[in-house]
């Protein structure tokens, strides 16, 4: 009897100990925090749009009505969009004299570079009438003055693509020639070195064009 009682007591104690260990094990499992799911990767930011790129709807100025209205005409605002700026300007009826000057300086390929980004201030044909005829003729025909002609034309080119708001905010524009242009006014009333914009925000494949009413002279 004594042995049986001792055995029962031992058995009871062992069972109680097993229950206690089981309970402790369960408590430890409950206290362990569950593994957290990794945070989802943030969505990629949208690619920024190219600064200074305009559309046909952004064009402004009193002379814009003088370009062809037929969108199939390569000289129209819509027709210039897909051409690089040298080609686009050559199709525009406002810019025949500028085109002749670009050809004389041999700058067509430079202006048509597909990977370039320009802002071009393009003097309209009447602007060249204010340049003395003998001076202009010498620039266009005398090989000794080709560098001077190149400097004159590249003074009208900013090696960065900008729209009207961008050039107004900048105020000063470094040119491909090495000089600087001064911008005054804002919106539709911009002046570049005192020249008024006749037709601005004109889009081409590699440039934004502003047709102006004066030939811009370096150093002035």
pLDDT in tens, 144-160: 999 999 999 999 999 99
Amino acid 47: pLDDT: 37
Identify whether 117 is part of a domain: yes
pLDDT at position 50 is 52
The residue written with tokens 């494949």 in the block is 205
- DSSP-assigned states of every residue in 91-140: H-TT-HHHHHHHHHHT-HHHHT-TT--EEEEEE-HHHHTTS-HHHHHHHH
Q: Is beta strand 189-192 parallel, antiparallel or unpaired with respect to 195-203? A: antiparallel
The domain containing residue 85 runs over which residues?
56-212
Tell me if 61 is assigned to some domain.
yes
Q: Which residues of the chain have pLDDT under 50?
A: 1-35, 38-49
Domain of residue 76, CATH code = 2.30.180.10
Sheet holding 157-158, edge to edge: 157-158, 118-123, 207-212, 195-203, 189-192, 180-186, 172-174
| Tally of domains in the chain | 1
* pLDDT tens column, 79-116: 999 999 999 999 999 999 999 999 999 999 999 999 99
Kindly report the pTM of this predicted structure: 0.76
Q: Which DSSP symbol is given to 220?
A: -
Please indicate, yes or no, if residue 128 is contained in any of the structural domains.
Answer: yes
Residue 130 inside a domain? The answer is: yes
- Report residue 112 as tokens: 């048509």
* Residue from 122, 89, 99, 91 nearest 197 by CA: 122
Q: List the one residue out of 179, 210, 181 whose CA is nearest residue 193.
A: 181
Tallying the residues shown for the chain, one arrives at: 220
Cα–Cα nearest to 120, from 32, 49, 205, 26? 205
Contacts 24+ apart (CB under 8 A), 190-198: 190/164, 192/121, 192/167, 192/216, 193/217, 193/220, 195/121, 195/123, 195/127, 197/60, 197/61, 197/164, 198/61, 198/62, 198/63, 198/64, 198/94, 198/124
Judge whether 40 lies within some domain. Answer: no
In a domain, 156, yes or no: yes
Distances (CA, A) of 91 to 10, 122, 201: 108, 13, 17
Neighbours of 196 (CB within 10 A): 18
- Tell me if 97 is assigned to some domain: yes
Q: Please, what is the Cα angle at 26 between 23 and 27, to 5 degrees?
A: 85
For residue 108, which of 100, 120, 117 has the smallest C-alpha distance?
A: 100
With respect to residue 177, please indicate whether it lies within any of the assigned structural domains: yes
């Amino acid at each position: 009897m004594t042995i049986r009682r001792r055995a029962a007591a031992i058995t009871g104690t062992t069972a109680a100990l097993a229950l206690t260990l089981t309970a402790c094990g369960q408590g430890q499992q409950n206290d362990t925090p569950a593994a957290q799911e990794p945070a989802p990767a943030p969505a990629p930011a949208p690619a920024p749009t190219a600064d200074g790129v305009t559309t046909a709807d952004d064009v402004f100025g009193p002379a814009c009505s003088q370009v062809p209205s037929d969108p199939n005409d390569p000289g129209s605002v819509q027709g210039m969009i897909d051409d690089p700026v040298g080609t686009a300007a050559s199709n525009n009826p406002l810019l025949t004299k500028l085109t002749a000057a670009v050809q004389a300086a041999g700058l067509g390929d430079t202006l048509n570079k597909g990977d370039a980004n320009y802002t071009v201030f393009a003097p309209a044909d009447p602007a060249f009438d204010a340049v003395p005829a003998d001076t202009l003729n010498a620039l266009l025909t005398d090989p000794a003055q080709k560098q001077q002609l190149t400097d004159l034309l590249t003074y009208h080119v900013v090696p960065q693509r900008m729209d009207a708001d961008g050039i107004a905010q900048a105020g000063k524009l470094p040119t491909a020639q090495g000089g600087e242009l001064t911008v005054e006014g804002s919106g539709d009333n911009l002046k570049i070195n005192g020249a008024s914009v006749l037709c601005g925000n004109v889009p081409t494949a590699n440039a934004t064009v502003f047709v102006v009413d004066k030939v811009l002279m370096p150093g002035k």
